[in-house]
Structure 1
Amino acid sequence: MSTCNWRTGFGYDVHRLAEGYKLCIGGIEVPFDKGSVGHSDGDVLIHAICDALFGAANMRDIGFHFPDNDPALKGIDSKILLKKCTQLIREAGYEIGNIDSTVALERPKLNPLIPQMQEVLSAVMNIEVSQLSIKATTTEKMGFVGTGEGIAAYVSVLIYKK
């Protein structure tokens, strides 16, 4: 049986929001009175992208590659993790076709920041901005996202064998 040259992956991540933390989403710091609680900088979008890429390449998940009990990763900028993730899938012979993502957050509103996120993340992954879709939504005040307790991100990716 031959191996398919095209693969899809899905990533999902959530983080609790609390006062006293920075809110990092899509590689940028978002001004807000709460931030993402995490071992790293808590960038939910980057973590979901990494999971989707690792999953598509059948390389396990972000926690396998970057465990949350590793003291060297405490407070790390998630862009460093994304750069390493991209490097690992490329070393395995894959290239990114496209990424489609959605961040669920009641507030603050992210739409004005999306172009900046696309610029930053596409540069980290060395892809074209046109290959990275970032969307934002609310949960209409329902669930942990709607009450402001947390943030979630959903990502699907398409990769291909070079």
Structure 2
Amino acid sequence: MKYVNLRLQDDEHARMVAMAESKFMPVTSMLRMLFADHEAKSRAQHSSAPAPKMNKRDQAFAEYHNLMANLPAQWTKELFDSTRKAINELRTQGGNIHHTDMPLPESMVKWNNAQHPNAADPKYASWSIEQLKAEVDATGNSSAQAYLTFKLQRAAGDLQDLDFPED
């Protein structure tokens, strides 16, 4: 057993003795109880371990997944530009993450492609090669040209594994 000597002023000692007597316990037991309470409160405050530190790449991916979870239903030019800028910044912040690891959302890309005047018009998907050749010769339509090129390559057997929008 160890002894602890405390130097207290007379009025502090009198208050401690009065409090101990009001609880019908010795001063030593009261001090031990107060110390135990203080220790429990101290442990409760420091019991949670600090969160593991994330590296820049993991932080970038966490922000990217958060961004993907909150995509808008309808795209506008401003939303497209801000989302694209945010994704590009995340790629850079994460240490030049490759675009295949952090791609632009499909709905965003489709919306952007549809905004261009030379976007592939799906009406040409069902046309035959002869119809497409006639359309390209007559009007020089780039959408018809894209479908014609694709269909010629597929007919030659060059594009067996690739998909292009049809019917």
Tell me the TM-score normalised to structure 2 length: 0.21
Higher relative contact order (CA 8 A, sep 6+): 1
More helix, by proportion: 2
Query: TM-score, normalized by length of structure 1?
Result: 0.22
Structure with max Cα Rg: 2
